[in-house]
Chains A and B, each alone.
Chain A
Amino acid sequence: MTLIIPLRFFSDNKSKLSIISMILIIIISYSLFYYQEKNAEENIKNKMFLQQRDEQIESTKVMAEHISSDLKLIMSILQGLTDSIYLQQGELYGDRIEKLFNEKFRDITAITKVDGLFIADRDDIITYNMVSEGQRSFVNIDISFREYVQQIKSKLKPIFSDGYKGMDGKYKISLIAPIINREDGQYIGLIGVEIPSKDFFAHYGNINNINSSFLVAYDRNANYIATPRAELFGENFFGDKVQSFFNFNDIQNDYYRKVFSNDLSHDYAIYNFGSGERLNTGQPILLQGEPSYFVFVISPTESIYSSIGQALFLERIKIFSLILAFTLAVMILIIFLVKWNTNLDKEVKHRTIELEESNKRLLSANEDLEKNDTMQKEFINVAAHELRTPTQSILNFSQLLSMHPEKQEEFIEGIQRNATRLQRLSNEILDVTKIESKSLKLEKEPFNLYDLLSTVVYDYCRLMEDDGRQMEDDGRQNVKLYSESSKETLIVEADKERISQVISNLISNAIKFTKQGEIFVTAEKKDDRYALVTVRDTGEGIDSEIFPKLFSKFITTSFQGIGLGLYISKNIIEAHGGKIWAENNNKDARGGAAFYFTIPLIMR
């Protein structure tokens, strides 16, 4: 897991500090957790051990009681049998005995595995022996050598025998009930059940695996009757063989001595005889009110701790995963925040740039506005000035007319001329207003552009002739207007008036800037789609200063006009879907300028 914190994050000291403190907090938290966990584990371990110990004490007690009750039950079955009429009459074998024993034998084997159920006569010879499957019957065997036979004959009471080595070499215990004649109290014989002691005790707990809790059992003489260690069967616990095996462990011996003497002041013992620590809980098995056997449950404490350890390990993994998950979550949160912060930063930056740009735009718009405003003012100034000039002239001529009625013709002509100019100015201003308010309307109709061109040129020719004098006054001489055109028709659908206005404007401009020379006006087809109109003069050409702004408002170098003509023309042509442009002719040739415009032809 690598923290992808942008370098920038480290760049300032505050961030560095916060990161370091964050790491420190994590380290301290983890150390605290570790310390706490260790303490808690130790506590749990101790508690669990105590719990395990108490459980083992309790379970050993329960086990001893269980064993005792099982053995008592078997004994009660035997005692029931000794009261049977056949046995009482001394019938110690035969079919009837077999029948009688069959059922009881099943009852007994339901409680524990037994080798056999047998009867011995008063000479201690086995007269009958009912055996489990796989076992051999030992009729006619003399069992007078068995200790319990001597005991039962002297006590005439049920016996839970000490351990002994059976005919098959395995260790046994026997439960023996005397058959005593109820009437004369004579000893008739005995009934016994031979139980393989290891198998019997294995029924109540582990007796084979010494790596976990296992049990061992002893008889009254402290001889082994059940143990995982085959070599110790029948050995006395306090004998040399066993003692040297356990390295003469005093704690162990004391505890065993106590349990063997039915002193239960101590429930358990913990000791180590050399092969690891053991927890030992022993209990006497009480039969007929006295301890007849002793059972001990021995747990290698390592096995207890390892089982606890397993539980703790799982718990540890759980908590650790929780913390890890939490840490991860926090880290992801931090990364998310950092990223979010970065994004926010970017966004702010972006917005700032945008704002700056829009500011700039606003500023430039403002400038434009101001420029416009200035232009507007200028326009008004110019317009007012332009309007004032003919108006003033008309006033002057009117005054002159009233003072000199004799020169009426001259003055009226002056008035007319100025009124015409005034009208033209008004029209132009009106057109500009229309263009700017986007209310310029075209009344389109199909017509032959060439015809229009011819008419306009013709009108100008006449006008020029009429104005010959005035033009001479302006210092212009010898300007000739030509119209060249192919004889083909150029049908366009356009506003005739407006196109005428554009052509007139271009021609009048050409005339204005041409003091001497020629003006060619041509119309031709271009790309079969457009009609191209060219007005070429041989005048002074377009000033490079105003060239880029040629089609803007108020652009003029002439003394006449207020520089709206080209602006209006451009708008009219563009409104027709055409283009208008200008270029200077090559100076080496005839010089002058050329204006072009196109308008779409009607496609047939």
Chain B
Amino acid sequence: MLAIVLISGILIISIGFFTVFHFVYGITDVDNITKSLSISSLNVTTNISDSKLKIALLTDGLFSDAGWAAFGYNSVQLLNLKYGHEIDSKENVDIPNIEMTLRDYASKNYDLIISHGFEWGDPTIKVAKDYPNTKFIVFTGLVNSSNVASIFPMQQEGTYLLGALAAMMSKTKVIGFIGGEKYPNIINIYEGYKRGAADVDPNITVLDIYLDDWDDPIKGKKSANDLINKGADFLLQVADTSGHGVIEAAKTRGIYVFGAVSDQNKLAPNNVLSSFILDVEKSLDSIINMVQYQNFSGQIFKPGLEMNKGAAGDGIVYISPFHNLDKTVPENVKTRIQQLKEDIIDGKIVVPEILKQ
């Protein structure tokens, strides 16, 4: 009898202890999240956990686009290389199949699924409901739920700089923009570009075309030629594989063009003057850490501009160097751009987020 009482007592005490411990631990987590609304605070976390995550990156783009999807591919490979996480990636998912693909991966017990593209937002929210144990991140998304977070980089801050650069260097005072599809994030990019141009030269004309196709270089080339024919001597393309056609047109017609998401100077070193780039390494690190240490919060993170790749601070957007075109950019222009960067990072210039036209 005494023994039973003793054993029960020990049991009750240990359960109580465990509950309290767990509660305290949980509270600490919540505190952490509230404290770390900015990514930089999480960025410094070192890898102290041995647990390997199962991560998948899914995109409707092509890894061969040398831009957006290539950036996605690189980021998951980095996760594998750096942390040894088990990774998988799938490209070229048809947009109608997004939900099905998400479900397929979610059902395979992935710890983290990265939905790579704005258009993945709504399907991700839908699927995530059914798989509460899986965490989802939507890149360039604007959605969130308990297990869905989005990273919506302030790309307009990057394109603001490109717009300013184009406006300063354009001889025709006509510059163009070619977008893959009229998604809010693409509108945002365009608006930044337009604002940047207007801020340095109010008389500049900015033409825009949306292709409604991300994987058609021929369409891209044709639209680029249309804009060039209208006088544009600078083009910004944010159209993935279709953008290759824009770059090709620029190369043929001898005008400048800006790359998107990755440094696209390689595609036409004499024409791609610069690109706005997302910092691969910094982009995912923080999120992965949140997942790794089970303090994931379903937020929309909006990291902004950084001075250059891997620079301190929480920004993940930067513009690429001019490479071999460096000498063609006048010093005053370079100085002005440098100043604009600093002003944006310091908050002196605010490039507003505009999601609708």
Contacts and interface: CB of A to CB of B under 8 A. Distances in A.
Interface of A: 92-95, 125, 127-128, 136-142, 144-145, 167
A369 to B, nearest CB: 129
A129 to B, nearest CB: 9
Given A136-B62, A136-B64, A137-B64, A142 B77 contact: yes
Interface residues of B, number: 23
B269 A145 contact: no
A244 B339 CA distance: 66
Residue among A137, A138, A140, A141 with most chain B CB within 10 A: A140
Interface stretch (B65-73, B105-113, B120-128, B226-234): B65-73
Contact of B81 (A92, A140, A145): A145
Interface string B333-345: 0000000000000
Given A144-B81, A145-B78, A167-B63, A138 B70 contact: yes
B66 A94 contact: no
Contact of A93 (B73, B77, B266): B266
A128 B66 CA distance: 10
Contacts of A142: 73-74, 77-78, 280
Contacts of B263: 125, 140
Nearest to A167: B63
B262 interface: yes
B78 A141 contact: no
Contacts of A139: 64, 66, 70, 266-267
Contacts of A93: 265-266, 269
A586 B346 CA distance: 181
Residue among B71, B81, B266, B269 with most chain A CB within 10 A: B266
B70 A140 contact: yes
A93 B63 CA distance: 19
A146 to B, nearest CB: 9
Interface of B: 62-64, 66-67, 70-71, 73-74, 77-78, 80-81, 262-267, 269-270, 280, 324
19 contacts: A92-B266, A93-B266, A94-B270, A95-B269, A127-B266, A136-B64, A137-B66, A139-B70, A139-B267, A140-B67, A140-B70, A140-B74, A141-B70, A141-B74, A142-B78, A144-B77, A145-B77, A145-B81, A167-B73
A140 B78 contact: no
A138 B266 contact: no
Nearest to B280: A142
A125 B323 CA distance: 15
Nearest to B77: A145
A132 to B, nearest CB: 13
A139 B264 CA distance: 8
A164 to B, nearest CB: 12
Nearest to A126: B266
Given A93-B265, A138-B66, A140-B263, 12 more contacts: A93-B266, A125-B74, A137-B64, A137-B66, A138-B64, A139-B70, A140-B66, A141-B70, A141-B74, A142-B74, A144-B77, A145-B80
Given A93-B266, A94-B269, A127-B266, A138 B63 contact: yes
Nearest to A142: B74
B284 to A, nearest CB: 13
B244 to A, nearest CB: 9
A576 B267 CA distance: 141
Contacts of A128: 266
A419 B269 CA distance: 171
A270 B78 CA distance: 45
Contacts of B80: 145
Nearest to B71: A140
Contacts of B74: 125, 140-142
Residue among B62, B71, B74, B263 with most chain A CB within 10 A: B74
A167 B269 CA distance: 25
Contacts of A145: 77-78, 80-81
A47 B137 CA distance: 68
Contacts of B262: 140
A148 to B, nearest CB: 13
A231 to B, nearest CB: 18
Nearest to A123: B309
Contacts of A140: 66-67, 70-71, 74, 262-264, 266
